[in-house]
A and B are shown apart, each in its own frame.
Chain A
Amino acid sequence: MNAIISLLSSAITRGAPLLLGTTGEILNEKSGSLNLGVEGIMAVGAIGGFLGACWTESIILGILFGFICGALCGLLFAFLTITMKANQNVTGLAMTIFGVGVCRFIGQNMKTEGTFPIMNPNLTSKFAENGIPLLKNIPIIGPLLFSHNILVYLAIIIAVCVWIYMNKTKAGLKMRAIGENPAAADSVGINVDLYKYINITLGGGIMGIGGLYMGVIINNGTWNDDWIGGYGWIAVALVIFANWSAVKALLGSFIFGLMLALQSKVGNLAAEFPNALGWTAKIPVEFYMALPFILTAVVLIINSAMHKKSGNAPSAMGINYYREDR
């Protein structure tokens, strides 16, 4: 039983940064921009948020720093793709190279010039503070749902808020209209560029918080050269898997988080239930690593085979809008 609880709880811990990255990317894609720079934006948010938290010794300001750094990257992406009409794929890839470079550059320089800053242990414990008092004492459900770090709950709140914004507000409707057909949206007087700018910047900020999560929680705030470790790319995949819905991304991030958690926990699981789940340990761990991508590829194929134009995929995704091209 313990193995299962530990596995599921670890799935939530590992799913949360994916959820943040995915929510940010959904905002991008739904407003018509395929941003492949998630990995880089998360990296910049990670190092920015981490340093912010170290300097200000405040958890809130740390999150804010992560958000701002991510948002700045989003703004740069928006400026290049909207105002400068640069190709989105290439800009996104450049953002990944640039962002990961910035993160490594800052981190390595701190390591060579003395020691890498270690977060005040006080603050680390605050970040990792285990859950909601009282509720976390409930057996089974307590350790499963109510004993996570605050960023997990923040991620869930953000995802739900984004879903409400996209589906229940006027601004969200306009934003989705732009993602489907910017020319039509423009013709009814929606400020296409402004909406895109706002959503991409906001999305970048949310990815930035996801990056902070990777630095502070997954890597415990200790430096290694690869803080994001491909989570940004998994987030891009998860957007498809979650069918461009922030609420479905909640479930999707849990499933993907489970696959990530299985990589390290599958041994325990098989040891505790040798008869029922013994086979899980026989599957090579690389399969669990590839599974998010395999599943996403399958979803992509199924969606396109069923002529659903990739499920909820916005029609104008990846295509820049130039008014005079209409």
Chain B
Amino acid sequence: MKTNSQSVKKEPRIRIAKRVEMSSKYKILLTAFSVLAALIISGILILFLGKNPFEFFLQVIVGSFGSAINLKLLIRIFVPILITSLGLSIAFKMRFWNIGGEGQFIIGALVAMTFALLIGDSLGRFGVFVVIVTGAVGGGLFALIPALFKVKFNTNETLFTLMLNYIALYLVQYFLYGGPKFYISDRPGIPTFKVIDEMLFLSDFKSGLFSVDTSIIVAAILIVFIFVYLKYTKHGYEISVVGDSVNTAVYSGMNVKLITLRTIFFSGAIVGLAGALQLTGSAAGHTLSVNITGGVGWTAIIVAWLAKLNPLGISIVSLLMSVLEKGCGYARTKMGISDAVSDIIQGLILFTVLACDFFINYKVILKKTDKKNMLFDSASAKNELTSNKDESEGSNDLKLCEGGENK
């Protein structure tokens, strides 16, 4: 299908063109179909192992929803992915490639940990609030580093946030193995972080048979908040204008630098909030650890993307991803299938959905068409390339394609 690579003289036999707009019913149908395709491929993989794929998927479902305890464990995986993904989505909406979720998450947890150890039980139950807010601020400030360099020098944020992930990780590792004794418990043996004061534990949300951390309430509020924030506020409008075209934003008198800094602070703060909630919640045993993120920062990027940055979509996709993670772990104990299969399925789903996006955004034209290839003025190449892109993408804002920087 190397359609747009044929020589200029020849009329291509197969041609692709941008689709104007596909009805959302078809979009959802196509996406669902591609998820199904990924599941079928994974099923075939299971079959090759000599196991029954139907039993496998049944176990995945049972392992996620089968009992109150499974459901509780599922929610523990689900909430951090959801909140982190919501946080990243507002940065992506502005086409700021914040792939520093891992770093912001762990820094959020680290800052929350620091404050938790400092205040102990001196503030009573109010302390939980302080700890969580400081954690969020910590994550926001950490995200502000690449944002500052972005607005000042136009430093590539994709690569910078990537580097910061590892710098943050090793910082936490340092506090565990080599740093001040402040963070370390006196338990003999391998160093572990202290457990925070019981007064600072996140309270439970009890409902019927089981209780979960209140972080799920925070997540629910955030879904609504982000939805309203992006869709109905001035800030949200500014974010989408900057995301579509920086030039348009500049010409219309927007303070792009301020908008960038503010948005990235919020983005990092929400991710940091997820980290702080994870720390104070029961999932991580009320303590910090080097792998407290559990790869959430990476998964969340994929979730945000699959959901087209739509908050409601994000909650659905987060659920799907956490079911895969939880369910595959369960299926491992029941059927002896490596839980790495969940990573494979996640990857496959993304591949098929990315491929399906192509059919949503483009149409394939088989017959000859009149449209001649225009000759190209190389001097204005770059300008034209970017400005055309800005125009064409204003129409469908959910397609944030071609990544990289806004030029």
Are A and B a genuine interacting pair, yes or no?
Answer: yes
Find residues 76-112 in chain A having any chain B CB closer than 8 Å to their own CB.
76, 80, 83-91, 93-105, 108-109, 112
User: Is there an interface contact between A34 and B354, defined as CB atoms closer than 8 Å?
Assistant: no
Do most interface residues of chain A lie in helix, strand or loop, or is the interface mixed? helix
A67 at the interface (CB under 8 A from B): no
Q: Is A322 an interface residue (CB 8 A)?
A: yes
Query: Could you tell me if A86 and B302 are in contact, using CB atoms closer than 8 angstroms?
Result: no
Choose, from A7-15, A116-124, A144-152, A312-320, the stretch at the interface: A312-320
Given the known A-B contacts A94-B350, A326-B388, are A183 and B302 also in contact in the complex, defined by CB atoms under 8 Å? no
Number of A-B contacts (CB under 8 A): 232
Q: Are A87 and B347 in contact (CB under 8 A)?
A: no
Find out whether the CB atom of B358 lies under 8 angstroms from the CB atom of A86. yes
CB distance from B5 to the nearest CB of A (A): 4
- Does A274 sit within 8 A of B, measured CB to CB? no
Contact check, B163 vs A297: say whether CB atoms are below 8 A apart: yes
Contacts of B392 in A (CB 8 A): 325
Q: By the criterion CB–CB under 8 Å, are B174 and A301 in contact? A: no
Nearest CB of A to B194, in Å: 19
Decide: B338 and A83 in contact? CB cutoff 8 A: no
- Contacting B at CB under 8 A, from A183-203, are 183-184, 186-189, 191-194, 197
Residues of B within 8 A of A97 (CB): 298-299, 302, 343, 346-347, 350
Flag whether A1 is at the interface (Cβ < 8 A).
Answer: no
Contact A90 B354 (CB under 8 A): yes
The segment from B236-244, B279-287, B398-406 found at the interface with A is: B398-406
Q: Say yes or no: A293 contacts B163, CB within 8 Å.
A: yes
Residues on B facing A (Cβ under 8 Å): 1-2, 4-8, 16-18, 49, 97, 99, 149, 152-156, 158-160, 162-164, 166-167, 170-171, 173-174, 177-179, 298-299, 301-302, 305, 336-344, 346-348, 350-351, 354-355, 357-358, 361-362, 373-376, 378, 381-382, 384-385, 388-389, 392, 400-405
25 sample A-B contacts, Cβ–Cβ < 8 Å, listed by A number: A36-B99, A80-B354, A86-B354, A87-B354, A87-B401, A87-B402, A88-B404, A93-B302, A97-B298, A97-B350, A98-B348, A101-B344, A102-B340, A104-B340, A112-B336, A183-B376, A188-B378, A192-B4, A192-B5, A237-B162, A286-B177, A287-B174, A297-B167, A320-B403, A322-B4
Q: What 10 new A-B contacts, CB under 8 Å, besides A326-B381, A326-B388? A: A98-B347, A105-B344, A186-B376, A191-B6, A284-B177, A286-B171, A300-B163, A307-B153, A318-B405, A326-B384
